[in-house]
Amino acid sequence: MPDTPANQREYPKQEKLPAGVGFPLMRLVVVFGPGVGTALDAAPGRFQGKGSGEVTLFRSPDDVLDPGDVLPADRLYANFWDVARLPARGVDTVMRPHAGREAVNFRGRRRKGGGGPGDKRVCRRKPQRPSRMTAEA
């Protein structure tokens, strides 16, 4: 991004850098269409500071996802509340479990009552609702 005064105000460079060194920094989360890789929506944000993390930015481009869509995403976004809000809108997600979670072993015993080879029911406990979320949401 160009090193203009307006960009420096909106997207400040790292504080550790001396004056006159570096460029403005922006975080960017993009939703791509699978057919030709077209960017359907993007959520730009500051590189640092409150509300600038990728998970926060991930919550903003929701309006491009329609019921029946499948969202493949990075394991960074695999937290309970972000995964739960998408199926509530009819959007399925495909992502690896978050690195901090115990891995799911799909070998061995299957659940009873149906399912195909490799199917396994995985349950996660619902954590306490974050303060940023209303009870209705």
Q: What is the pLDDT of residues 75-108, one digit of tens each?
A: 888 888 878 888 888 988 888 877 777 777 666 6
Output the pLDDT for position 81.
Answer: 82
The band of 130, judged by pLDDT with boundaries at 50, 70 and 90, is confident
Q: Quote the pTM value.
A: 0.64
Q: Which helix (H) or strand (E) holds 56?
A: helix 54-58
Mean per-residue pLDDT over the chain, rounded:
79
111 Cβ neighbours under 8 A, 6+ residues apart: 119, 120, 121
Which helix (H) or strand (E) element contains residue 9? helix 5-10
pLDDT at 110: 55
pLDDT over 70 at 4, yes or no? yes
Instruction: Tell me the CB-side half-sphere exposure of residue 30, using CA atoms within 13 A.
Output: 10
Instruction: Select from 30, 28, 122 the least CA-distant residue to 80.
Output: 122
